[in-house]
Structure 1
Amino acid sequence: MKKITIQEMPKHVGETVKMGAWLANKRSSGKIAFLQLRDGTGFVQGVVVKAEVSEEMFATAKGLHQETSLYVVGEVTEDTRSAFGYELQVKEIQVISESTDYPITPKEHGTEFLMDHRHLWLRSKKQHAKMKVRNELIRATYEFFNDNGFVKMDPPILTASAPEGTSELFHTKYFDEDAFLSQSGQLYAEASAMALGKVFSFGPTFRAEKSKTRRHLIEFWMIEPEMAFVEHDESLEVQEQFVSHIIQSALKNCKLELEILGRDISKLEKVKAPFPRISYDDAIEFLHKEGFDDIKWGDDFGSPHETAIANHYDLPVFITCYPTGIKPFYMQPHPDRDDVVLCADLIAPEGYGEIIGGSERIWDYDLLKQRIEEHGLDQEAYNWYLDLRKYGSVPHSGFGLGLERTVSWVTGADHVRETIPFPRLLNRIYP
C-alpha cells in the first residue's frame, strides 16, 4: 500500500492509501465521524462511516483527542464541497501517540496566550497557510534572482560597524573586541558585487528599535541585491519586476492558502510592473492637499502618510529622491540638486507600508569619505568599504526587501508577528 501526503492526494483518486496525520479537529453524528486531518502539507477531511468499519474502529474514531497522531488508511475521493477538493474515506486508524488537554482549542484565545504557545499555534490552519505563503515568496525570490544572473552571497551576521550609522544595534563582545549583530548585509553585498557583478543576500537582520507597531520585529529577514554598473532608474525596474514576480507566483501556487486566509486576491492580481512613481517633493504637496498639515519638507513619512499615498494609487508606489538629511550616508546625491539623493522606498497598498528601501550608492571615493566624516562615523571601521571606491569604482545600486512585511501584505495579516515562525518582539523572546 502506497504511503502518501495530503498534498499528493489529487494524484491518487480512487486508490486506497496510507497517510500519517494529526487530528486537527473532529465532529460526529451517530453513524459518521468527520476527522479534520493535517500532515504538514495540507488539511483534509477523513470520513469514518460506522457501517463500513468495525465497532472498535468507529469507537476509536469517536474517542480521538485533538492533535493525536495517527496512521490512517482509506480511499481518496473527490469532494467538490471543500476548498481542497478531496477527502479520505477512512477504513483503518492506528493511533501513534495520544494527545490530551491540547491547550489551543477551537475557540477564541487572546494574542498573548497564542504567542506564548507559538510552537503549537503554528499547527493551526491559518498560521499554516501564512507559512506556506512565506515559503512560496522565498522560493520565488531564489527563482527570480537565479534566472536573472544574480549570485547568492552570504554576508556576516557579526559586524564591527553599523551599515546605516545608527545606534539601534545589538552589542556583543567578539573576544576582546566590540561587535554588533548585523542590521543589513548591504555593505558586504556591495563588495561582493564588485567581484561578481550582480549578487543578492538573504538572511536575518537585527534592529534594537524600541517599537511596538504592527510593522516591526526585532529580528527579521531581508533580501538585499546589489548590482554593479546599474544606476538608480535601472534598479527601480529590477525592483518592480522582482515584486511582480513573487506576487504572481504566490497567486499561482498558493491559491488555496490565500482562500483559507480570506485574502481579496483581486488586489494582488493588479500588482504588475511598472509601478507608479512620485517624488518626495510631490508627495509632500499631495499630503498637504489631503489635509496632512503636520508634515513638512525634510520630515520622514509615518504610517498614515505612506498609507494615504499608496491608497491613492491602489498599487505599490515608489516615493523617490528623499532629502539627504533623513537618509544614510552612502546614498548618491541627485545630479542636479544637493538636497536630495537618488533613492526610493516602495510602499505597499492597503496600509502595509514600506516593503523596499533602495538607492544608487555613492561611488566617488572623496565624497564617500566626506559623508562618513559628516555622519561622525569611525573612518577606520569603514576603510575596507572605502577601498571599493579606490580600486575600479563603478556606479552601482541596490535595495532591501523586508520578507515579513511583504508576507503581511500578501496574506492580509494584521501584524508581522504572524508572518515569521518564532517572532522576536520588544517584549518577547519566548518561545
Structure 2
Amino acid sequence: MTVKARIERIGEFVDQEVVLEGWLWNKRSSGKIAFLNFRDGSGFIQCVVVKQDVPEELFDLAKGLSQESSIRVTGIVRKEERSQIGYELTVTNIEVVSRTEDYPITPKEHGVDFLLDHRHLWIRSPRQRAILKIRAEVIKGMRAFFDENGFTQVDPPILTPSSAEGTTNMFETEYVNGENAYLSQSGQLYMEAAAMALGRVYSFGPTFRAEKSKTRKHMNEFWMIEPEMAYVEHKENLQIQEALVKYTIKHILDHCPTELKVLERDTAPLERVVAEKFPIITYAEAVKILQEKGHDFPYGEDFGAPHETELTNHFDLPVFVEKWPANIKAFYMQPDPENPDVILGADLLAPEGYGEIVGGSERIHDYELMKERFAQENFDDSYNWYLELRQYGSVPHSGFGIGLERTIAWICGIDHIRETIMIPRTLYRLYP
C-alpha cells in the first residue's frame, strides 16, 4: 500500500512506494530522463522520471511542469549518495493539483528590493527555507535551555504606558480611554516583577523600535528573549548567558546540518564557540585594545560596528565587555561598588563581525538609589509600580536580553538581518 510521506523522514521508506505532496521548485531534462527538484516544506528531494519506465503522457507531463506548480508525486524511495539528503525518488506517477504560470522569482538573479516585494514567495527558496528552519530550532533550543534550568516563561504586555529606556524611539498610539500608549521596546521592567514572584523567568516576544536606522543589524520589529533572575548577581549572570549561547549553538549543530550545508556555513567557528571559554574584558580594556590597533576612540562612547568587529577579531570568540561607563547605560543598572562610575553589566559581542547579540546587567535593588535615579530621569507616576519592587521584598537580581534575529544572522553566517524573519519591517518597508 502506498503511504504518504514527508521528505524530512524519507529515509524511513527506502525501497517503498510513497506519495509526496508539495511543489515543483525547478526541473531539468534530457531526451530520456526528467529531474524534478521537488519540495514539500520539510525539505527538497530530486524526483527522477525515466522515459522508458513510465507512460509517454506521464513523461510529457513531467517535462511540461512549470515552476511552483503544486503536485503529488508517487514513486519509489532510493538511496543516492550524491544527493544532499542521501535519497531520491524514482517517479511512477504525477498528479497536478494546481498549475502555476509566470512565477515571478526565477533562477536568474533578482534585486533585493524585488525579492523583498515578493518576500511571501521568496521564503520558498532553499536558502530562505533553511534560515527559517534554523530560526525555529534556535527558538526550540533556547526554550529547552530555560526549561532545563528552572525558568518559567512569562508574557509581559506589548502595550505600555511608558518605556524602559525613554519614549523617543517608540511607536505611539492612542489607547481606548484616550491615553498615550506605546508598543513595547522591551519587557524587562515587567520581567523584574515576574522574577520577584517566580524566581527565574524569561519572556519571548516581539519588540518594536521606531529607529530610523538603515544598517544591516537593525529592524523596526524584532523578537527578544529577556530572562530575569532573583538572587543572581553580575558574575553568575554572565555564566548563564554563556551557557545559553553554547547550548543554542550546539543544538543547531546537532539538529540543522542540512540547513547549514545549504547556507554553505563554515561550522568550525561555531564548534569553537561551544568548546572554549568566552573571554571577559572591561570597557576600559576594550578601549585600550582599540586605541592600540589604531582606532581614534575616546573613552565614554558606545562602540560602532567597526569597533565591535575589531574586538571580536582580536579574540576570535564571543567576548563579554563589562563595566561600562554608567552615564551611557540605562538608569536601572547596578553601579560597581568598587567604582560607581561604571556598572555591573556587559554586552556579549559575537565574532565574525556580527557584534552585540546580548546586553545585560545586575539591576539596582536598593530603594533609595532607585529613587535617586527616578529623580534624575524625571519619571512620572507611570513608573511607580517599578519603584515599589525595591520597596517590598527587594533582592539582588540580574537579567539580560538576547536579540533573536542577530543571533540567527550570526549562526547562519548571513550578511543582513532582514533574512532572519519571515516578513521584515525596516525603515522603508511595510509591504508585504
Match of 1:348 in 2: 350
Deviation at 1:377, TM superposition (A): 2.5
Rounded to whole Å, the distance in 2 between the matches of 1:257 and 1:164 is 37
Can you list the C-alpha shifts for 1:192-230, whole angstroms capped at 9, x where unaligned?
000000000000000011100000000000000000000
Match of 2:291 in 1: 288
Pairwise mapping of residues 156-175 of structure 1 onto structure 2 (< 5 A)? 156-175=157-176
Q: Are 1:314 and 2:316 matched, yes or no?
A: yes
Query: Match of 2:146, SS?
Result: helix
Match of 2:78 in 1: 77
Rounded to whole Å, the distance in 2 between the matches of 1:189 and 1:390 is 17
Q: 2:280 aligns with which of 277, 292, 308?
A: 277
Pairwise mapping of residues 82-101 of structure 1 onto structure 2 (< 5 A)? 82-101=83-102
Rounded to whole Å, the distance in 1 between the matches of 2:390 and 2:378 is 20
Q: 1:338 aligns with which of 324, 337, 340?
A: 340
Q: Are 1:376 and 2:359 matched, yes or no?
A: no
Rounded to whole Å, the distance in 2 between the matches of 1:257 and 1:8 is 15
Can you list the C-alpha shifts for 1:130-181, whole angstroms capped at 9, x where unaligned?
0011011000011000010000000000001111124100000012111000
Match of 2:217 in 1: 215
Match of 1:107 in 2: 108
Pairwise mapping of residues 145-160 of structure 1 onto structure 2 (< 5 A)? 145-160=146-161
Query: Match of 1:136, SS?
Result: helix
If the length of structure 1 is used for normalisation, what is the TM-score?
A: 0.99
Q: Are 1:61 and 2:75 matched, yes or no?
A: no
Q: Are 1:304 and 2:306 matched, yes or no?
A: yes
Can you list the C-alpha shifts for 1:376-424, whole angstroms capped at 9, x where unaligned?
322x111100111111100000000000000000001110000000000
Deviation at 1:366, TM superposition (A): 1.2
Rounded to whole Å, the distance in 1 between the matches of 2:327 and 2:377 is 10
Distance 1:43 1:248, change over 3 A: same
* Unmatched 5+ stretches in structure 1: none
Letter in 2 for 1:168: N
Pairwise mapping of residues 132-211 of structure 1 onto structure 2 (< 5 A)? 132-175=133-176, 176-211=178-213
Rounded to whole Å, the distance in 1 between the matches of 2:415 and 2:154 is 32
Structure 1 runs, 4 residues or longer, greater than 3 Å off: none
Rounded to whole Å, the distance in 1 between the matches of 2:120 and 2:251 is 28
Determine if contact 1:165/1:377 at 8 Å carries over to the other structure: no
Deviation at 1:373, TM superposition (A): 1.6
Can you list the C-alpha shifts for 1:295-351, whole angstroms capped at 9, x where unaligned?
111111111001000111111000001000110100000011121001100000000
Query: Match of 2:135, SS?
Result: helix
Match of 1:323 in 2: 325
Deviation at 1:83, TM superposition (A): 1.4
Identity rate of aligned residues, in percent? Answer: 59
* Unmatched 5+ stretches in structure 2: none
Query: Match of 2:298, SS?
Result: coil
Rounded to whole Å, the distance in 2 between the matches of 1:399 and 1:77 is 49
Query: Match of 1:340, SS?
Result: strand
Letter in 1 for 2:341: D
What is the root-mean-square deviation in Å for CA atoms of aligned residues? 0.7
Query: Match of 2:342, SS?
Result: coil
Match of 1:233 in 2: 235
Pairwise mapping of residues 245-264 of structure 1 onto structure 2 (< 5 A)? 245-264=247-266
Letter in 1 for 2:370: L
If the length of structure 2 is used for normalisation, what is the TM-score?
A: 0.99
Determine if contact 1:316/1:346 at 8 Å carries over to the other structure: yes
Rounded to whole Å, the distance in 2 between the matches of 1:377 and 1:422 is 35
Rounded to whole Å, the distance in 2 between the matches of 1:210 and 1:78 is 52
Deviation at 1:90, TM superposition (A): 0.6
Query: Match of 2:174, SS?
Result: strand
Query: Match of 2:137, SS?
Result: helix
